[in-house]
Amino acid sequence: MTGLRCDDDPRLHRELARLRDLPVNFDVDAVDPQDPGPEWTVDDRRRELPGEPPGPPLVGGPWERACALVADYKFADPTLVRRACRTGAEPVAGADLLLETSFHGLVFLLPCRVGGITDSTRDGVRVWGWNYRTLRGHLEQGQMDFLVRKDTATGAVEFQVRAFSRTAPIPNPVVRLGFAVFGRSTQLRFIRGAGDRMAELTEPVARPADRSRRR
C-alpha cells in the first residue's frame, strides 16, 4: 500500500531533503482556488464512502478511518504512485512531499509541498483534509486537495479530490510530448483510483459499525 516512509531508500531520502530549497512553481497568491480561471484545468470529484449514523463522526468509524488514510497518503493507486515520502509524520503546512510515479513505463520524481490543512464544521458538514502544491521540477503546476466530509444530518461520508492544474514547462521534448498525449488521462485515472481505494479501504471498518447498530 502506498505510504509515506522512505527510510529504506537512501536515494529517495536524499531527494526529499533537496526539496527544502525548491520553490512552488506557480504564483499561489495570484490564484483563487475556488475560481482559478480559464487557464487552469479544474477537477472536483467526490466518492461516496460507507456512511455512519447522523451526528458527530464515530470513534473508529469510516470518517475517522478515511481521515487516517488521507493523512498517510494511502489512497493513491500504487500502479501510478510507487512511493510517497513526506517530511514529518503528519501533514502540516510547509512539509515537503516527494512522489515517485510511473508514467507509461517511465519513472518520475515529482516534488510537492503541503499548502494547508482543512479542519472545519460548516453548515452541518464535518470536513478534514489537506492539500499539496507543486514545486519546481514537477510536470504540472497547481494544487490538489484531499478532503473527507461527513454530513452530520444524514450520516453520509464522502471523499473529495479538488484540484486546479496546468502543464508546467517541460524541457525534455519526448517527455513534453508524452505528457501532452497521456497526462490528462493519467490524472483522471489517479483521481478515480483514489476514490475507489478509499471506498475499498473504509469498508472493513463500516461492517463492525453496522453490526453494533443492529444490536
Angle between helical axes of 173-214 and 62-71 (0-180°, round to 10): 150
CATH code of the domain made up of 10-214: 3.30.530.20
| Phi, psi of 159, deg, nearest 5 | -110, 130
The pLDDT, as a whole number, for residue 188 is 95
List, for residues 30-89, the tens digit of each pLDDT value. Answer: 999 999 999 999 999 999 999 999 999 999 999 999 999 999 999 999 889 989 999 988
| Phi, psi of 168, deg, nearest 5 | -80, 160
Q: Which residues pair with 150 in a beta bridge?
A: 126, 157
Alpha-carbon span 156 to 148, nearest angstrom: 11
pTM for this entry: 0.91
Domain boundaries, the chain: 10-214
198 contact partners, CB below 8 Å, separation of at least 6: 47, 49, 66, 69, 70, 75, 159
List, for residues 86-97, the tens digit of each pLDDT value. Answer: 998 889 999 999
Strands (E), 20-174: 41-49, 81-86, 96-103, 106-122, 125-134, 140-151, 157-167
Q: Which residues pair with 102 in a beta bridge?
A: 107
List, for residues 81-140, the tens digit of each pLDDT value. Answer: 989 999 988 899 999 999 999 877 788 999 999 999 999 999 999 999 999 999 999 999
